[in-house]
Amino acid sequence: MSYGKSQAEQIREISGVNPHKCMKCGKCSASCPSFNEMDIKPHQFVSYVLNDDAEALVNSKSLWKCLSCFACIERCPRDVKPGKLIDGARQTVVRQRGADYLMPEEIPEHLDPKLPQQLLVSAFRRYRR
């Protein structure tokens, strides 16, 4: 990771997203299945990065509510990819030690007999480094 850069810059770099391309149409928020769970809404992600207010973004619960379903990426008319942006924000968090959203010790409580391995693997990848 590149140190000495602001967190907003890091997010832009990791995600490869250029937030200036956004024209604020809101199609991402109109498509998002997790919209109601999020405190910062998909169409707002770009503003936080543009305004260098990454701190609010990385502390938001939206990081852990995005399902990476790619609906926003698929439908965005400006090729902005808000889903990649929020993933970039999440990356800056999970790449720091101790900031993991999922702790190994809490796993047993989540398990049930039907739960597929794939779920554990995916959740680990999403929530932890």
Residue 18 lies near another protein (rule: CB under 8 A): no
Rg (CA), the chain: 15
Task: Pick between residue 97 and residue 118 the one whose CB is nearest to another protein.
Answer: 118
Residue 128 lies near another protein (rule: CB under 8 A): no
Place of tokens 């850069």: 5
For another protein (CB under 8 A), the number of binding residues is: 57
Residue 110 lies near another protein (rule: CB under 8 A): yes
Calculated CA dihedral for residues 49, 54, 60, 64, nearest 10 degrees = 70
Q: Which residues, numbered 31-60, are part of the site for another protein (CB under 8 A)?
A: 31-37, 41, 43
Which helix H or strand E contains 121, and what residues bound it? Answer: helix 117-127
**Shortest Cβ 56–another protein spacing (Å):** 15
Among 26, 52, 59, 96, binds another protein (CB under 8 A): 26
Find, among 71, 93, 91, the residue nearest to 27 by Cα.
71
Phi/psi of residue 80, nearest 5 degrees? -85, -35
Find, among 30, 43, 51, the residue nearest to 82 by Cα.
43
Contact residues toward another protein (CB under 8 A) are: 1, 13-16, 21, 23-37, 41, 43, 65, 67-71, 73-79, 83-84, 87-88, 91, 102, 110, 114-127
